[in-house]
Amino acid sequence: MLAYLDHHATTPCDPAVVAAMAPWWSEHCANPDSRLYRPALEAAAAVERARGQLARALGAAPEAVIFTSGATEANNLALKGVCEAALEQGHPRRRLLSLVSEHRAVLDPLAYLGRHGFPVQLLPVGPDGLVDLAQLEAALGDDVLLLSVMAANNEIGVLQPLAAIGELCRQRGVLLHVDAAQAAGHIPLAMDALGIDLLSLSGHKLYGPKGVGALLVRPGLRLAPQLHGGGQQDGRRAGTLPVPLIVGLGEALTQAEADREERAGRLGALRDQLWEGLQALGGIELNGGLTPRLPHNLNVTVQGVDGQRLHRLLRGRIAVSSGSACSQGSPSHVLAALGRSRAQAAASIRFGLGRETSATDITLAIDAVAAAVRELR
């Protein structure tokens, strides 16, 4: 039996989410922007219910929610939308800040903006994966337009100090964008309370469907749209709304919030059991600080083994990865930021536990790594 322990790459769609989406594929197929007859009005009402579900779960106003195809689009809309709006408004600030350990869905749009007149500064992280707040404060000059920080790292699971970061940004008049793809539905997030101006999320990271996500934008903040067409969503993101996926996203986040605390406690205990079992093998090093970290995340480097051979031996028994699912096998820039060598990064394992993970899965994972280590060492 293959134990699926790669929930940071994607999660299975919750049965309750599948059931909630079902009627909207065929029975209720109207376009929510038609608005001239009852089925279309019902579809529009379903979209608004989902908008309210996201807003309540994330501590924001319903009008803050823009539905997108996922967190990648949401990140692009946030970063490019803010910068293009600043150009249109003649805003004097241009510099953009982020961390070297961010996801490519943030780093690549920033690199694009850097080639178009917006200087980008990437701050280092410590061995624990966290930004140094004093260094961040020093970097928040009068020319900084926006800071983008991931709430929970997709590889090592560490949680950046969002409350302190939000306060620094408020003091300096800097916009704060948070990529919450790995955090929404897994840890408490209150956008307004934390001082977050823009927040991105994706449905398939929290037991929802693939192909849908959202960007939440503080009311009053101007964004230049990246998609032009029918003027949907108040002109901020054109395109016919995928009602089934939007309903699924709202239901997924509602379900995730309902069992978040129980799930965190259970998976945190299983994660600690996994860590203890791996430590007993010797030569296993933790990547990033153990706290604060997502309760369902563990990332380790197995010393003294070839990474390719290690993962070849593991893949028949456990589904894990060595880094981001988007890296396509490239060495992890996140682990490099922690000081890991290319060989060490290749010999690293990211474990992502999920709702269905059991103690049996943990035992299987420990046994699989132990068998691989015995053979390779």
Per-residue model confidence (pLDDT) at position 336: 95
Q: Is the pLDDT of residue 184 over 80?
A: yes
Say how far apart CA 97 and CA 83 lie, in whole Å.
13
Mean pLDDT for the chain?
Answer: 96
Q: Is the pLDDT of residue 8 over 60?
A: yes
pLDDT, tens digit, for every residue of 264-291? 999 999 999 999 999 999 999 999 999 9
**Angle in degrees, CA 124, 301, 276, rounded to 5:** 115
| Chain position carrying tokens 């060595």 | 322
Helix (H) or strand (E) holding 87: helix 71-89
Q: Is the pLDDT of residue 327 over 60?
A: no
Q: Which residue has the higher pLDDT, 324 or 138?
A: 138
Q: Is the pLDDT of residue 311 over 60?
A: yes
Terminus-to-terminus CA distance in the chain, angstroms?
Answer: 25
Q: Which residue has the higher pLDDT, 32 or 330?
A: 32
The mean pLDDT of 31-38, rounded to a whole number, is 92
CATH number of 15-258: 3.40.640.10
DSSP 8-state assignment for residue 338: T
pLDDT, tens digit, for every residue of 44-74? 999 999 999 999 999 999 999 999 999 999 9
Q: Is the pLDDT of residue 325 over 70?
A: no
**Angle in degrees, CA 296, 298, 300, rounded to 5:** 170
What angle in degrees, to the nearest 10, is found between the helix axes of 243-258 and 260-279? Answer: 70
Is residue 326 annotated as part of the catalytic site, yes or no?
yes
> Following DSSP, what letter does each residue of 144-212 receive, concatenated?
EEEEEEESB-TTT-BB--HHHHHHHHHHHT-EEEEE-TTTTTTS---HHHHT-SEEEEEGGGTTS-TT-
Tell me the sheet residues that pair with 99: 123
Say how far apart CA 368 and CA 318 lie, in whole Å.
7
Secondary structure of residue 275 in the 3-state scheme? helix
Q: Flag the least confident range among 32-46, 62-76, 316-330, 352-366.
A: 316-330
pLDDT, tens digit, for every residue of 204-224? 999 999 999 999 999 999 999
Q: Are 8 and 154 in contact (CB under 8 A)?
A: yes
The token pair at 115 is 């080639």
The mean pLDDT of 1-25, rounded to a whole number, is 96
- Closest to 217 measured CA to CA, from 146, 139, 114, 161: 146
Share of the chain above pLDDT 70, in %: 98
The mean pLDDT of 320-347, rounded to a whole number, is 84
CATH number of 3-11+260-376: 3.90.1150.10
Q: Are 85 and 154 in contact (CB under 8 A)?
A: no
Given 13, 29, 83, 326, the catalytic residue: 326
| Chain position carrying tokens 């964008």 | 177
Per-residue model confidence (pLDDT) at position 40: 95
pLDDT, tens digit, for every residue of 347-361? 999 999 999 999 999
Share of the chain above pLDDT 90, in %: 96
Domain positions in the chain? 3-11+260-376, 15-258
Say how far apart CA 375 and CA 377 lie, in whole Å.
6
Q: Is the pLDDT of residue 231 over 80?
A: yes
